[in-house]
Amino acid sequence: MNTIALSKINLDAPTQLRALGEDMTHVKDLAYSYADTGTFTELPWVALIKETGEYVPIDGFHRLNALKWLAIQDEMTTSVDYYNVAIRYSEFETMAEAIVAAAGVNAKHGLKRKKGDIQNTIRKLLEVDRIGFMKNKYQLDKKKIMEVVGCSDRMYRQESQSIRDDLDIARNLEVKRLYNEEMLSHREIAKRVGCDHKTVGNILGGEKRHDAKIPQSKNEQQEEPHEENNDTNSSTGSTEETPEEQSSVFAHITEAKVAECPWDDVEEDVEVKEEATGPSFSETHSQARIRLFIEDLSEEDKAYALKLLAV
């Protein structure tokens, strides 16, 4: 059995993963029990952190604080040896390793974990080893977290909800940035953020519908002089088309149903596309968006679109 002086243990160590710290009611109950029996049902677990040389509790914050509370109660200290506290002893290279070890100690014993304790534990794990507990930049590693924390699937979902919501918001902002600023395909964006094409399509769905209306209005403006020429030609007996009869390629595209992931068939990366031989003029942002949109059409729709553009 290992013993250590209570004064050597850092009771303010970051290995305390309860959101609100110790429950003083429970601390006093343990103190009275220890004063009567001279022992705990289970010994506190204390570890030496080699990188700092300090001793920290891994399990047993309430028990050790019960001894500390007894130490300041004059009438109850005579039978307590604060210089030789019985403990379970371990050593860790870093504080991060100690925090991971402390993550699941109250899953099966000690004071039952309260609402917020598991969420606080998950956040601590991400602070000390973000890569180790995430599948990618925007997705938690559910299996590993549940294994280390020692919680049920239902409890994991409840306690990690706000964390996952924050990650989703960050991912959605990055998806929109990659699409609007870097003009990447859905396929490339999905690879960058670690999700599937459907998720990217859902995130960009509203924005794509808004963008589709912009080139349509520009096309209608460009056809206005053409309509005036038709008015002039009517005096010569030529057939004049009404605005309702003049269908633009973009109107056709807007009315068509958009596939869930319009970039599924694009095999080449964006970098390759940029090196390929393009038009002789310098494309504007809107023109490039239109070109990419047309390229995603089926062969039948593409042929129809190109035929209308040629008119």
- Token pair, residue 227, equals 């309509």
Assign 13 a pLDDT band (cuts: 50, 70, 90): very high
pLDDT at 230 over 50: no
pLDDT at 266 over 50: no
**Mean pLDDT, residues 58-78 taken together:** 85
Residue with tokens 């942002």: 285
pLDDT at 233 over 50: no
How many angstroms separate the Cα of 121 from the Cα of each of 58, 92, 118, 124? 13, 19, 5, 5
Is 41 buried (19+), middle (13-18) or exposed (0-12) by CB count in 10 A? exposed
Helices (H), the chain: 24-37, 61-71, 95-102, 117-128, 142-149, 153-180, 186-193, 197-233, 249-255, 270-275, 285-295, 299-310
Q: Which residues of 234-270 are buried (b: 16+ CB within 10 A; e: fewer)?
A: eeeeeeeeeeeeeebbbeebeeeeeeebbbeebeeeb
Closest CA to 18 of 162, 159, 165, 154: 159
The 10s digit of each residue's pLDDT in 204-224 is 985 655 555 555 444 444 444
40-43 long-range CB contacts below 8 Å, 24 or more apart? 42/109, 43/1, 43/86, 43/87, 43/88
Report the first-to-last Cα separation within the chain, whole angstroms: 92
More confident residue, 106 or 272: 106
Is 142 buried (19+), middle (13-18) or exposed (0-12) by CB count in 10 A? middle
Assign 311 a pLDDT band (cuts: 50, 70, 90): low
Q: Are 58 and 14 in contact (CB under 8 A)?
A: no
The 10s digit of each residue's pLDDT in 129-165 is 999 999 999 999 999 999 999 999 999 999 999 999 9
Residue with tokens 């604060």: 82
- Give the pLDDT confidence score for residue 270 in this predicted structure: 39
More confident residue, 237 or 107: 107
Residues above pLDDT 70, as percent of the chain: 69
Q: Residue 30 and residue 121: Cα distance in Å, rounded?
A: 24
Assign 308 a pLDDT band (cuts: 50, 70, 90): confident
Q: Are 60 and 44 in contact (CB under 8 A)?
A: yes
